[in-house]
Chains A and B, each alone.
Chain A
């Protein structure tokens, strides 16, 4: 993978100038590359990594495993697209293994998510089964550890 993508995936806050210095490349080259990645849809966006456990009135998150019946010509794509359309849905992945689609959903609370699953997901005709799992706590996301007490703890001691 291109180093620009690797660095940005860890910290998208760096300026072109800083990225150029890190990579030992000219600034305009870096800018051009990033613009190209954006244009090609390789870079989809830039978001903050938020520790929702610390945010008041934070939303609840659930991961729902869906077993679906694929359609003859379109396979899983059509049903995935239909599910993507709900604003509650954050991500949709096609999985290998004992179920087909993994859908993450955010809602104001657990009840709201449960109702969403019961009323909107389960009622789609090709959905055969659902298995809803609620997230209790985030330990690590996007490569960032969330445990605040250990976050700042550099275990290296001062030796010489």
Chain B
């Protein structure tokens, strides 16, 4: 008998399974679960974008592309970042097309981290950063964000977490799970700390198109002198509702892009070709689709926030992504207990905030990437649940 425990890499054994996953295993065994838990848009990819994908197949474009991705796509990505976020990149030198934003995050970590380097990760945040840092021999260092600061990364708390070994800061804004955004003035303060401590920044801007209240997204690369020390990560999944196409990209200084390309070319070869053709269409003619989806999310967002506050669960106003992060401390339950009991008694699934880091304890993540009808039904059941546990 082989002892597989001895075969496995030591680091992968240390990686904890996703806390979201664990919770869903319970939900998947129940019937009639109504979910507000999925972190994926509910819209279909705009038809004209799908059509371009189909057309590329009809024309027989089914081979690898160049490692970095189609030249036209990389040019369109750079034009888009310039047009929308005011940062200039060169498609040839600075852009790498990846299999979703997640691959780009992995590449960035493995390209920058030497053994023992510390990576600063604001939490609550998406679950992939810590394990990817661990696998790259880095040391994840969590920086807490708090409701009283609207879950923004505060420079003082960042400073406190910095040591001589700190090398990279992850900036996950607009944020999953809190819906927090960082405005220009917030980023400028972070930039000062970054400069002072000579940090490098991985700015995960995958939700950049989903900001509300007229506060457009500000890219960290646009802040003075930050472009040279920033890897911007983004993709097509959230903005164009293209999750299944698996297409993302990084924008970074040339030496970093070249190094990431090495890893990408050996591990992946090139991102899916069909998706790349569709993405060109999305960038060229997809602005209205983005605006329409944003409008729809915005209505749901306001409805969800109002409903939670009305039922007595204080919910700070999320200004980005498609999540609300209501506080459930008033119920006296832990995040885990709240979610399990809600699931068992009302068949409603939301995700415990603790799955996104310890500072998420006392909160739950509610996704509003569902129809208004679906959201209303789930919220009504949550309200009933609150009445029953009083």
Contacts and interface: CB of A to CB of B under 8 A. Distances in A.
B42 interface: yes
Contacts of B21: 158, 160
Interface residues of B, number: 26
B128 A21 contact: no
A94 interface: no
B306 interface: yes
Contacts of B37: 158
A70 to B, nearest CB: 38
A46 to B, nearest CB: 15
A156 B303 contact: no
A22 B40 contact: no
A24 B28 contact: no
A9 to B, nearest CB: 12
A11 interface: yes
B299 A160 contact: no
A160 B42 contact: no
Contacts of A3: 295, 299
A14 B299 contact: no
9 contacts: A10-B372, A21-B305, A21-B307, A24-B302, A156-B38, A159-B39, A160-B21, A160-B126, A160-B127
B185 interface: no
Given A7-B372, A21-B303, 18 more contacts: A7-B299, A10-B372, A14-B376, A18-B376, A21-B305, A21-B307, A22-B299, A22-B302, A22-B303, A154-B38, A156-B42, A158-B28, A158-B37, A159-B39, A160-B20, A160-B21, A160-B127, A160-B128
Interface residues of A, number: 15
Contacts of B167: none
Contacts of A22: 299-300, 302-303, 372
Nearest to B41: A156
B40 A18 contact: no
B156 to A, nearest CB: 31
B81 interface: no
- Interface hub of A3, A11, A24, A160 (most chain B Cβ within 10 A): A160
A158 B19 CA distance: 12
A124 interface: no
Interface in A139-160: 154, 156, 158-160
A74 B233 CA distance: 64
The 10 closest A-B pairs by CB, nearest first: A21-B306, A22-B299, A158-B24, A22-B303, A21-B303, A156-B40, A156-B38, A21-B302, A24-B302, A160-B18
Contact of A23 (B28, B39, B302): B302
Given A11-B373, A22-B372, A159 B299 contact: no
Interface string B167-196: 000000000000000000000000000000
B303 A18 contact: yes
B299 A158 contact: no
Interface in B197-232: none
B389 to A, nearest CB: 24
Contact of B38 (A11, A18, A21, A158): A158
Contacts of A154: 35, 38, 42
A2 to B, nearest CB: 13
- Interface hub of A10, A14, A23, A158 (most chain B Cβ within 10 A): A158
Interface string B20-34: 110010011000000
